[in-house]
Amino acid sequence: MDFDTMMAFSKQFSLIWFFLIFVAIVLWVFWPSHKKGLEEDGQKFMEDDPIHENSIKKAQEKK
């Protein structure tokens, strides 16, 4: 194998490899059994956000 053949193979292999990794990550994130844990993790960041806390207080005051 010469250098050009190895470069062509490397480019094709890396393209396929990164595409498969991307698909695996997307499937893992959108898998139904992971929904509860991911939503809880997302709420942790919202609890520390003062803007979000103010909007919750305003919504509760309107009720």
Express each pLDDT in 40-55 by its tens digit.
887 777 776 666 666 6
What is the residue-wise DSSP string for 9-41? HHHHHHHHHHHHHHHHHHHHHH-GGGHHHHHHH
> How confident is residue 39, by pLDDT bands cut at 50, 70 and 90?
confident
What percent of the chain lies above the pLDDT cut of 70?
71
In this prediction the pTM is: 0.54
